């Protein structure tokens, strides 16, 4: 404690800071959450764009099914085969529209208890939509890997889809193919070693 000019004691700067109420802290936390959300969304969008950019050249057929939002919605439960270009367009549209559809009616600066609940609900809805997109991308990757003829084809597919392997759902979906590829490479190495 310091002694002031009048003989009274002055508080230290740390004590003064403890007594300050920061009313903007909730707003700062919300803005940080929005920033984190935007960064994660842009990262996902970049990965989807990078991975699916090759679909236009390949034109491979992809099966879309299980009642997803493709088309007019009248094909619930049906599986529909689409071209790689159509699938790429669908996936990019879904990623681009997910935040707009869920946050369009949300006042992100509403810090009341109701506003917090609405914001958290929108985040959960976005997570569900991203899970559905990841599931479809995992299905696409599994289909590509199942169609591979040899280890070289598998390496090519894994190299192209590598950015998606950071997503836990996709990584889990292709685990068996990774093991199969490792076994194939191990056998090839053993053959080479036996020759020399």
- Structural contact between residues 181 and 165, judged by C-beta atoms closer than 8 angstroms: no
Instruction: Name the percent of the chain lying above pLDDT 90.
Output: 25
Which helix (H) or strand (E) segment holds residue 171: the answer is helix 168-173
Residues 3-40 have pLDDT tens digits of 455 555 678 888 888 888 778 889 999 999 999 999 99
Q: How many CA atoms lie less than 13 Å away from 139 in the CB half-sphere?
A: 17
Q: How confident is the model at residue 110 (pLDDT cuts 50, 70, 90)?
A: very high
Q: How far apart are CA 124 and CA 93, in angstroms?
A: 19
C-alpha–C-alpha distance, residues 130 and 101, integer Å: 13
Q: Please list, in sequence order, all residues whose beta carbon lies within 8 angstroms of the beta carbon of residue 63, skipping any fewer than 6 positions away.
A: 79, 80, 81, 82, 139, 143
- The stretch 70-90 carries a mean pLDDT of 57
Q: What is the tens place of the pLDDT at every residue in 116-171? A: 999 999 999 999 999 998 898 888 888 888 888 888 888 888 888 888 888 888 88
pLDDT level of residue 56 (50, 70, 90 thresholds): low
């Amino acid at each position: 404690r310091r002694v002031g000019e009048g003989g009274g004691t002055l508080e230290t700067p740390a004590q003064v800071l403890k007594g300050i109420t920061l009313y903007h802290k909730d707003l700062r936390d919300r803005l940080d959450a929005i920033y984190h959300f935007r960064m994660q969304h842009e990262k996902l969008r970049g990965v989807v764009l990078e991975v699916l950019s090759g679909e236009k050249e390949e034109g491979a057929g992809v099966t879309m099914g299980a009642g997803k939002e493709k088309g007019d919605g009248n094909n619930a439960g049906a599986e529909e085969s689409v071209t790689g270009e159509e699938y790429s367009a669908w996936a990019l549209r879904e990623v681009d529209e997910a935040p707009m559809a869920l946050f369009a009616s949300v006042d992100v600066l509403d810090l009341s208890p109701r506003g917090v609940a609405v914001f958290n609900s929108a985040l959960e809805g976005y997570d569900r939509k991203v899970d559905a997109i990841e599931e479809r991308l995992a299905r696409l990757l599994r289909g590509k890997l199942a169609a591979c003829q040899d280890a070289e084809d598998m390496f090519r597919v894994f190299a192209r889809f590598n950015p998606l392997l950071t997503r836990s759902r996709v990584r889990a979906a292709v685990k068996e193919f990774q093991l199969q590829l490792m076994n194939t490479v191990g056998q090839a190495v053993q053959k080479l070693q036996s020759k020399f």
